[in-house]
Amino acid sequence: MQRRTVLRRSGASLFALPALGSRSIDAASGTAASSGSLETADSGYEPLGQVAIEGAAEAVVGDDGEIVYLATTTGFAIVDVSDPGDPELLFQEDSIAVDGDPLLEVLDVKVDGDRLVVPGPANRTSASGRLFHGFCCYDVSEPAEPALVGQPYETGFHIHNCYLDGETLYVVANDPAENPLVVYDVGAEIEEIGRWSLLEREPDWGDVYWLARYLHDVYVHDDIAYLAHWNAGTYLLDVADPSEPEYLSHVAETSLEEQLAVDDGSETQQGLPGNDHYSAVDETGDLLAVGREAWATGGDEPDGPGGIDLYDVSEPEAPVERGSIAAPEAVDESYGAGLWTTAHNFELRDGRLYASWYRGGVSIHDVTDPDEPEAVASWRDPHEAGFWTARVAEPGETFVASSTPAIPNSPTEGALYTFPIEAGEQVDPPSLTDPDAFDLEPERRTEDDEDAGEETAQSEPTAETSQEDDETEDDDSRLGFTAGAVGVASGAVALEVLRRRNRQ
């Protein structure tokens, strides 16, 4: 369904954050090591530049490597990184309305050529009657002046993530009944052209708690779609004909039988094994990486922040498991502590894996031998930066990483950072394991969580909820979700942004 949209420019202006000193992140596996194909930093490894972006979440890079597009929770921003030492905010829109209904919880954007897609909300909400659920397409041939293309398209369901491949848009769709991939043609007229459901292929997954089989993200390369299906694993689909996706194979850390045996499926959401959060391949399509967003839960091993696993998918029908990259350790690795070091979004390019680890920072790993990934460079500043993603801007020269301000119980700020692609070690990186370096009192965490829920509930549109909605909200509150946002961890992240804005 197409609807009319109204954009009100925020009038945000560019401003630079204070100059950075030698702050840090270890590479997930420890000490950074030099790689023969990369230059080594003369001094300590550190960012080239940064620019503040309120509400920053996902970031993607345009085809020319000079323009970065960011989701900002209530809209989107566009940044020029042609001078990586002085990134420039070209445009920021923080108020999008469609027929009077706001588009909120924008955690993802995707770009291909001159087309930008802005979807939302990222999570299921009881306020569905007062929020626009769908996506808007923009012409970004003039990045400083994006223009709406056609009318916004109403899907009727929340969109946690999507992927744009030319004029074909792949969207994750989730509710307690099913978790399909939905495919749209976003050319001259937007229309649904295909869909694929895990439950049609393996119906017994319908008996598993819906968030444990959540379709969290989708990545497409050379007519193969990679679906991160949380505890169901990562599924590979042939989408040469996007109207009829066909199953090729999948990889998984846990099985359907194990998930069916879990008494309370919600308990499987935060802890390992499983938690296929983001999956992507390199430019050859031969190497697949699967990131696992997880925290310590006090349960059985493995119990801690999720890392990144590598697979040989040169034969897509027969993936082979290779090596892994562990997440940085922290003094408190629980969800509620806010000291998150789990894997988040990343990019594989030219034998390197560029990864983000929230407050654990960013890292570069050499994965030319995927059985033994080698740490090349890393940087963190857990007191200011919580990285959402890492993306290559200019191959061999620079990559960018977005920091989110919205990790609950943390002081991180929204920004886009630029980094050199070179080997090196950060000088005197801040400790993640020193308990005296962080305020981690359990009483403070509990009070802040309660405040976050109260303030978000007041700030969001209100709507009468059905008994089913109420039960769903109560169920998901055990996972750390707040104020009716039903989804994976990023739901609480997005609501933290709204909470902070309401305090200003």
The answer for 68, left when phi > 0, alpha when psi is -120 to 50, beta otherwise, is beta
Chosen CATH of 5-503 out of 2.130.10.10, 3.10.180.10, 3.40.50.360, 3.40.50.720: 2.130.10.10
H or E, element range at 180: none
Residue 166 pLDDT: 97
How far is residue 440's CA from residue 193's CA, in Å, rounded to a whole number? Answer: 49
In whole angstroms, give the CA distance from residue 359 to residue 72.
Answer: 18
Strand partners, 424: 377
What does the pLDDT read at residue 243?
A: 97
- Confidence (pLDDT) at 355: 98
Q: Is the pLDDT of residue 455 over 60?
A: no
pLDDT, averaged across the chain = 84
Dihedral pair phi/psi, residue 391, rounded to 5°: -140, 140
Q: Quickly state the pLDDT bin for 262 (edges 50, 70, 90).
A: confident
pLDDT of residue 451: 37
Q: In what order do the strands lie in the sheet with 67-71?
A: 59-61, 67-71, 76-80, 88-93
Q: Is 228 helix (H, G, I), strand (E, B) or coil?
A: strand
Contact 397, 354 (CB under 8 A): no
Residue 1, pLDDT above cutoff 80: no
pLDDT digits (tens, 9 = 90+) for 356-398: 999 999 999 999 999 999 999 999 999 999 999 999 999 999 9
Q: How far apart are CA 425 and CA 494, in angstroms?
A: 32
The percentage of residues in the chain with a pLDDT greater than 90, rounded to a whole number, is 73
Which residue is listed with tokens 């588009």?
Answer: 103
Q: Which helix (H) or strand (E) holds 499?
A: helix 490-503
- Tell the residue number behind the tokens 């050529």, with chain if given: 113
* DSSP string for residues in 414-479: -EEEEEE-SBB--SSPPPSS-GGGS---HHHHHHHHHHHHHHHHHHSPP----HHHHHHHHHHGGG
pLDDT at 406: 86
- Of the candidates 306, 284, 286, 285, the residue with the CA atom closest to the CA atom of residue 295: 306
Assign 142 to helix, strand or coil: coil
Q: Is the peptide bond before 302 cis (omega within 30 degrees of 0)?
A: yes
- 3-state SS of 70-129? EECECCEEEEECCCCCCCEEEEEECCEEECCEECCCECCCEEECCEEEEEECCCECCCHH
Taking the model in full, what pTM does it have? 0.85
Residues 6+ apart with CB under 8 A from 270: 294, 295, 297, 335, 479, 480, 489
- Counting runs of H as helices and runs of E as strands, what totals does the chain give? 5, 32
Reported residue count of the chain is 504
Distance CA 96, CA 10 (A): 10
How many CB atoms lie under 10 A from the CB of residue 246? Answer: 11
Instruction: Tell whether the model's pLDDT for residue 29 goes beyond 80.
Output: no
Half-sphere exposure of residue 273, counting CA atoms within 13 Å on the CB side?
12
Least confident segment among 65-74, 226-235, 455-464: 455-464
User: What's the number of CA atoms in the CB half-sphere (13 Å) around residue 81?
Assistant: 37
Q: Provide the β-strand partners of residue 320.
A: 312
Q: Which two tokens stand for residue 395?
A: 């191959």
- Reported as a single tens digit per residue, the pLDDT across 334-361 is 999 999 999 999 999 999 999 999 999 9
Backbone angles phi, psi at 132, to 5 degrees: -80, 130
Q: Is there a contact between 478 and 98 (Cβ–Cβ < 8 Å)?
A: no
State residue 269's pLDDT score. 82
Task: Please say whether the beta carbons of 494 and 408 come within 8 A.
Answer: no
* Residue 484 confidence (pLDDT) above 60: no
- Using CA atoms, how far apart are residues 416 and 51, in angstroms rounded to an integer? 5
3-state DSSP assignment of residue 488:
coil
Residues 6+ apart with CB under 8 A from 194: 182, 183, 241, 242, 243, 244, 245
Contact criterion met (CB below 8 Å) for 232 and 197: no
Exposure string of 114-140, with b = 16+ CB inside 10 Å and e = fewer, is: bbbbbbbbbbbbbbbeebbbbbbbbeb
Q: Is the pLDDT of residue 88 over 70?
A: yes
Alpha-carbon gap, residue 263 to 265, rounded angstroms = 6
Pairing relationship of beta strands 352-356 and 362-366 according to DSSP bridges: antiparallel
Look at the block and give the residue holding tokens 């955690």: 107
Tell me, what's the pLDDT at 502? 58
Cross-strand pairs, 358: 387
pLDDT digits (tens, 9 = 90+) for 289-332: 999 999 999 888 889 999 999 999 999 999 999 999 999 999 99
Across 271-276, average pLDDT:
94
